[in-house]
Structure 1
């Protein structure tokens, strides 16, 4: 370690890696950042940013062809110019990649960027096979692994011999397929299934169990109901047993028969990019490929840290960035931890799904005695005036104290209202506290207040804005 501060190697350039590099450099470290592919990682290039642009475009297309106000407003299905939408999408991706990643790294005197693939030699050095063919040895005092994850591909017979799509390649399709089959029913699967359906595809979703099977069952049921209303077919308890591709057509064998489509999207989860790092040889523990990291982001090897989707932490870019930032502090002599006890999660279907904290089942498993209430959106004034009352807000509270333990919401703008629930949980508020707070009238977040009030009263008997 030099007098000027530690030398830190950062592997990757996504949310976790960038946060770690910037924080460590801010605290006096010299940083070498190593990236084998495109600077910026998954979120800006092939994940959050392009997917939300696609989803938003699909939402606009849906509203132009169908809305709750069609009796008074003319509706006309739009013509979809996919190449133009794709150009707009990728243009914004390139802008954000430069503004938030490439430009920052280019101008930062404390961070050196190497383009190549890193592999640990031992716990203090890396071999980097540079993209130009040379090799460079990087010695470090501490290292951060932030290599992210990639789409996981199930071992379905025949699948590997077909031109199937992943979430990455689906986002850059230059045309909307007439028919699409989606294998998977978790977050990415349901988001992209609805987006492509709204842009003109006839979509069939194959769910091994049920949609969003890790969520409260009511969440999956609400999303499935929304899909049915839009003509998206959901086949539950259905798996692909074989895939073939003949005459430009996918044939997918299932227990429900052989299904045919023009495109097949495989969205069955993600797998960490840790295969080629030589982790086992240096003693970094992994489980199923995911690096085991503690709440300080430290691995089982002293001075080697990890954050983001390559670890066993939840796969959200804001978790990755928070973890990377804390690793940057800890690698430079600090002591900070990542608390995920009130972590929000959002699924960008329509209606949106947003959650924080414990579900009823999780709270019970953890030994809590719980009270729960579920508020139908017909009791939320904003939903009524929007003529969009499909969905619910559910609260899980500790019995006796009333302390809020979790919220699950399936509503329009659920992703916006959930942060209020996060702050309430951080403050250890009770449902009584929430019910007594001032909330702006005719907002979706007012639904949290109304749901909290249902623990002590019948909100259907209240006047507008009543407390």
Structure 2
């Protein structure tokens, strides 16, 4: 018979990122005994190597770019000096350390859950799973919990390219630690990480070339891809589409990289000082012995979960990137809270991504919520769309930057808005507003007649809605 010893903890969490902390906080507030296991640095990807450091560097790069681009404002003339990369990286590290301390480490003491530093592996059986934790000193301990949460995140993934393993290529993690700006940079990928990193290094002074399998931001509206391609071209970033890298090696003469790629059926060679591989991420689940306790995974290592985030073992749950779901820290955090509610309160809550906002922090930014034009058609919705160029948005005119658009996708039969996409300054805020619009089931007519403060980018959503029935080129900018 399996050992039914009283559990040592109510919840054992493997990992210490956004999903892990959300779960630990909620469980502790419910009076549960919580253990968190972390084998590396507390805080996970977001604060240590992802959102916080990358957006801090993007903000710095934008400040430099604005200095060099100030000529768009009459009467203003500034210039951008070379980048002190060690100073920039030191500032980034200081910010990361502060946020890690304030938002993660200090909270552990405040809430009072236990943290064990070490590597966790499942042992026992499916009916009686046990965690064996081995510390850096080699000492092991076994713990039992009523419920387990796997929130170990993901790590950058590189495709099987000949010679890639022998090249000192960069990832989104290692690129954040460079002590000098590469003279030239070859970026493999066209997703959100590739887009952000390409523009970041271009604005810091690198000559950037992107090798993209299909198009930029291929999961989003084609208008977004075309707009960003134009922005990148203006900033000197070369985008090579329909490109598949076949091999890469180090140039012995320069120490740089030489890559061969198939481009539209023919082979081309690309040279750069450094190579950045930004082709996605894969879950960190290897070595956990999930199969040994009856937890099923996909070929890529993703833990198979139901809509309530329960794995094939009813006592083991998963949250965040390890599920293979959308890789956003706010998704992981939502997962963590949902798991605790389902595990201890039998809430029966299910994940719902219908109105999930998504943001790529380029400049201008790309943001969206709900369905694209294509997705709505695939869902059987007869849609009617409007694309509003930013030249009709007063805020964009004041900013003297009309690169971008706002697109609304609406059900042609009911007028209900099912999707909003924008490429614009502060587009993420537009997507946030769009969440409430979609959640409320609002129609184009309703949004067109709502109050909206003048000279905000969000006013563009109202104008885009008005464009369904009005020639917005004939609206007064101050009395729309």
TM-score (norm 1): 0.97
The total of aligned residue pairs comes to 466
Mapping of residues 108-123 of structure 1, within 5 Å: 108-109=111-112, 111-121=113-123, 122-123=125-126
Change (3 A) 1:4 1:244: closer
State the alpha-carbon separation in 2 of the partners of residues 90 and 291 from structure 1: 32
Mapping of residues 6-155 of structure 1, within 5 Å: 7-67=10-70, 69=72, 71-109=74-112, 111-121=113-123, 122-123=125-126, 124-155=129-160
Q: Which residue of the partner structure matches residue 436 of structure 1?
A: 449
Q: Which residue of the partner structure matches residue 200 of structure 1?
A: 205
Counterpart secondary structure, 1:241: strand
Q: Which residue of the partner structure matches residue 180 of structure 2?
A: 175
State the alpha-carbon separation in 1 of the partners of residues 122 and 377 from structure 2: 43
Is it true that 1:462 corresponds to 2:475 in the alignment?
yes
Q: Do the aligned partners of 1:144 and 1:304 also contact (CA within 8 Å) in 2?
A: yes
Q: Do the aligned partners of 1:4 and 1:29 also contact (CA within 8 Å) in 2?
A: no
Q: Which residue of the partner structure matches residue 339 of structure 2?
A: 327
> 1:71: how far off?
4.3
Q: Do the aligned partners of 1:4 and 1:28 also contact (CA within 8 Å) in 2?
A: no
Mapping of residues 330-369 of structure 1, within 5 Å: 330-335=342-347, 336-369=349-382
Is it true that 1:286 corresponds to 2:310 in the alignment?
no
Q: Which runs of 5+ in 2 are unaligned?
A: none
> 1:2: how far off?
10
Counterpart secondary structure, 1:57: helix
Counterpart secondary structure, 1:332: helix
Q: Do the aligned partners of 2:70 and 2:77 also contact (CA within 8 Å) in 1?
A: no
> 1:362: how far off?
0.4
TM-score (norm 2): 0.94
Bigger shift: residues 23-32 or 441-450: 23-32
Q: Do the aligned partners of 1:68 and 1:388 also contact (CA within 8 Å) in 2?
A: no
State the alpha-carbon separation in 2 of the partners of residues 395 and 3 from structure 1: 55
- CA RMSD in angstroms comes to 1.6
State the alpha-carbon separation in 1 of the partners of residues 387 and 340 from structure 2: 41
Counterpart secondary structure, 1:61: helix
Q: Do the aligned partners of 2:8 and 2:144 also contact (CA within 8 Å) in 1?
A: no
> 1:339: how far off?
2.3
State the alpha-carbon separation in 1 of the partners of residues 48 and 9 from structure 2: 31
Counterpart secondary structure, 1:331: helix
State the alpha-carbon separation in 1 of the partners of residues 8 and 165 from structure 2: 48
State the alpha-carbon separation in 1 of the partners of residues 332 and 157 from structure 2: 19
